Structures are given as structure tokens and as C-alpha cells.
Amino acid sequence: MEKITISKEMAAAVDSYLQYRRIVGEDDGGKLFTPEEYEQYKKKMLPIRQKNRLFVSWTSPTGMDCKLVGPETQCFCTHRYKQHKTDFEDIPKERPIFLPCRVKGCQCKTYLYVPLNGSQPIRCRCKHFADEHHEAEHYSCKKCSSCTEFHSSFTCGCGHPTFTHDTVVETKEERMARGNPVGYDVPYAAMGGLTGFSSLAEGYLRLDPSGTGAPAVDILNAPVNSMDHPYLKTYGGHHDRQALTNGLCSMTEQLSHLKTSEEKDMKYFEHCYQERLKMERIAKRQKQHSKAKSKTK
């Protein structure tokens, strides 16, 4: 495989382009801004994003954000969040806030998240996929006349069906009032609900307030039992940590608790293998020795 190397100047140019694309998004219409236009764009848009950022999430009936929408997250209309209107000089007072799609010819009036089943769209109760429905209001089916509205019973990881969830568009103040994290102010376009790396995980896997939340103190302080991970059995628990600190237990003694029958079997098979190699080497030397004797005679 051919190795590709680039200079520091080329790497810096790639980083600059990625920074440009994160800030500008789709606002340049596919044609790069000139340096002057880029600076004017940043002077205009960055203060707006810091002041009027909108947080978008797909929320369960319990209030948990099962999905935090990012720039590349697809809408029901199959276009991505960054292709919708996400920047407002003045945030609308009406609720909900509509984020229409900016792709030419698309009739999507506002961003609507729809989950995927693996890599495929989910099905409606009419048995047709989500992308086989109209992106206009009510999302009627294109394949059959009996379906007048997209309605899916696909179950989310939180245990609730899709039709019980809502796509929530909220301001920073509204999100903080719900007790959910807002992260830091960033200059990037269409960040939606992303506030950190944990935002990429589904809600039932996140331990921040927007997900399942931190485990209860009783769970954290519970004694280690046989159902816990081997690491916890070795290092977990208050008494074990204290013993390690006081030097009462050596590292070897702790690791010995991790020995399993499989490891013992592997050790046995390795010993047999090494013995076989040893016998083969001895047989090879004896054969060479006997050949040398026959030549001398």
C-alpha cells in the first residue's frame, strides 16, 4: 500500500478548510467564500450563534433526550439538520419553533427527527418505509391512499414507541430550565443538541441529566458481588481500595482472583505445545547425528 505524506503547510490547509466548513456549513451555496467574505460572515453570524443557539433533541414521554441532533442527523425529509434553517437573528416567540428545509424543492416545513432501524428507515403502520411518505404536513404515504399520517410503533432504546416521542427545539434558557446541559458556546453551524462526546450516545446510555442521569448513591456504594465485572472484584469496593492503599494486599494477590479455568487450560495447552517442539528438536538432532555417523563409516 502506498504511503501518503503531506507537509505541515498542506495539513494546516486541510485544518483550515475543516474549520471553515464547520463554521459556514451550507451557507456558501457550494461556492467557497473569499477571505473577505469569510471574515464578514464570521462577524455577522458568530455573535448570533452565541446568543440565539437552538438546541434540538428527540425526547421521550419521560423527558429524557433519547437523541441529540447534530449537523449530520437526518430529518424525515431525508435531508440533514445542517441543510435546515438553524440561525435566527431574533428567536421566534411562537412555539414550537419551525426549522424549514432550505434544499430547493423540498416541502419540509420544520425539522423532524425519525430514528433508523440499523441503517434502514423505520416502517409506518402501513408497512411502508419513512422515506416513502411525503415530507409535507401529516406525512401521508406515497404508496397507498389509506395512510394519511406517518405512525410507527418502532420501539426506542428507552422502551417507548416512536409515536410517543417529540422533536423538541428550545433555546438555551429553556433547556437550562429543564435541567439539561448546554455545554460551551461554539461558533459552529447547526450544532443542535450536541454539547460533548457523550451527546453522540443514545439517551439510555448517557449518564448526564439529559439521559438516564448519574446512578444513585446507594448503587455506587453497594458492596461488590459475584455479578459485578472482574475489574470491580479486584479493585472495586471501599474495603478493597483501602486494603490496597494500606499495602495489605499485593498486586499479585489481587490479580490471582482473575484466574479462570480457561486461562488454566490455555496454560496447559501451551505447556504441551512447548514439549512437542522440544521433542521435535531432539528428534531432529538425533537424525542429523545418525547421518553424520553413516557418512564417516
Question: What pLDDT score does 254 carry?
Answer: 54
pLDDT class of 291 with cuts at 50, 70, 90: confident
pLDDT at 58: 96
- Per-residue model confidence as pLDDT tens digits over 183-214: 988 999 999 999 988 999 999 999 888 888 87
pLDDT at 262: 64
User: How high does pLDDT run on average in the chain?
Assistant: 87
Query: Quick check: bond before 96 cis, omega within 30?
Result: yes
68-77, 152-161, 259-268: segment of lowest average pLDDT: 259-268
pLDDT the model gives residue 36: 95
- Alpha-carbon distance values, 1 to 4, 10, 11, 240 (Å): 9, 21, 21, 50
Asked whether 110 and 136 are in contact (CB, 8 A), the reply is no
* The model scores a pTM over 0.95: no
C-alpha cell read off for 82: 445542517
